[in-house]
Amino acid sequence: MKIALLGHGTVGRGVVDIIDSGTGALEVSRILELPQFCNEARMTSNFDDIVEDDEIDAVVEAMGGLEPAHGYIVRALEAGKSVVTSNKAVVAEFFEEFVDAARANGASLFIEATTGGGIPWIAGLMKVRRVDEVSSFSGIMNGTTNYIVDQMSRSGAEFGAVLERAQGLGYAERDPSADIDGIDVKNKTIISASVAFDVACTHDLPVSGIRNLTKADLEFFASRGQSVRLLGKGVQELGSYAVAVEPTAVDARSMEAAVPDNFNLLSCEGATIGPLKFYGQGAGSLPTGNAMVQDLLDLAAGVRPIYDFSRGLAYDPTLLSGDYLIRAAGFEPSGAEPAGAGYHRVPDITAEQARSLLDEALSVDPTAFMAAIG
């Protein structure tokens, strides 16, 4: 099967390396690249060379960003070419449009590599769905933030120092906002909920990150037998669902608390299968490339994913609620109880209410931090 690759960066090179090393069923026949980098016969800077080539069966999109990736994916699907992508931002934004375009043109959309890197998370959710409803999911979906929290806990270093180390290792971008403010996890949570619950997931969900996490915060939670992790979460019940992204205080003895460095751990639960956990490399050239090649092999074997957003679940934020701990100098939330060391416990609020409360706290203390109690 002949494929075209859009983007020859970290992930794209991983795909090429895996296929060129001996995956006999696949051939990279075209690579879209900037003109100044077209140094192989199979490289082109003109997308028309790809979309108009009848011999190309599938397009592998590893460019990142919204445009031109969005336009290229739509054009490929409209041309009847299946698309394999690792681009969580574009899938989260245009998932329903892509699914409609694929269905209308006899093509397929494969998204395993968007969430969890090399972990077979999307495939796992789809298998659970064949028998059970997925009642809930949650997980560490971003290796950068997990690396930061893990290294802060291990070394006792402050956030800024560990972030610099993560940037030096290539785990964090020069502008780390998408990671540390929870945007990357938001995209992956939208994708996970859409697949797990058969719903066009809302984009208007509460999102909090770890930008204000301090060494003292981690020491406080450790004194309570807890560790902090940034989690994406979703739950469905009785025709409704809710999703959120937020720092969460998990039991120090839990599997989540033990996840090291830039690894991911994703969990889901169904009525007959019970709880399932998926652990592995959440990013990187070869793990993510592996997931994309797995999708291509499924396509070659005639295995096509089916996404169905017709259930019409209502969004109900009350499904995600619980107690929270907040640290904010000069700010005492209504109904809160002192929890020691400058923290207050806020009982029984939704994730949406917690995000609104944090916004109030940040207007008083820009260094405020809040975590759900898992």
The reply to whether 296 falls in a domain is no
Q: What are phi and psi of 211, to 5 degrees?
A: -50, -35
- pLDDT bin (cut points 50, 70, 90) of residue 148 is very high
Percent of the chain predicted with pLDDT > 70 = 100
pLDDT digits (tens, 9 = 90+) for 179-207: 999 999 999 999 999 999 999 999 999 99
The reply to whether 123 falls in a domain is no
Last residue within a domain, chosen from 110, 139, 166: 110
Cite the active site residues.
188
Q: What local confidence, expressed as pLDDT, does residue 16 receive?
A: 94
Nearest to 239 by CA among 133, 346, 82: 133
Please say if the pLDDT value at position 173 is more than 90: no
Distance CA 120, CA 160 (A): 32
pLDDT digits (tens, 9 = 90+) for 212-221: 999 999 999 9
Q: What angle in degrees, to the nearest 10, is found between the helix axes of 88-104 and 183-197?
A: 30
Return the biggest CA–CA distance within the chain: 68
How many structural domains is the chain composed of? 2
Please say if the pLDDT value at position 23 is more than 80: no
pLDDT digits (tens, 9 = 90+) for 54-95: 999 999 999 999 999 999 999 999 999 999 999 999 999 999
Please say if the pLDDT value at position 341 is more than 80: yes
pTM for this structure? 0.96
Residues 152 and 247 in one domain: yes
Residues 267 and 318 in one domain: yes
- pLDDT bin (cut points 50, 70, 90) of residue 311 is confident
Last residue within a domain, chosen from 59, 76, 110: 110
Residue matched to tokens 């931002």: 89
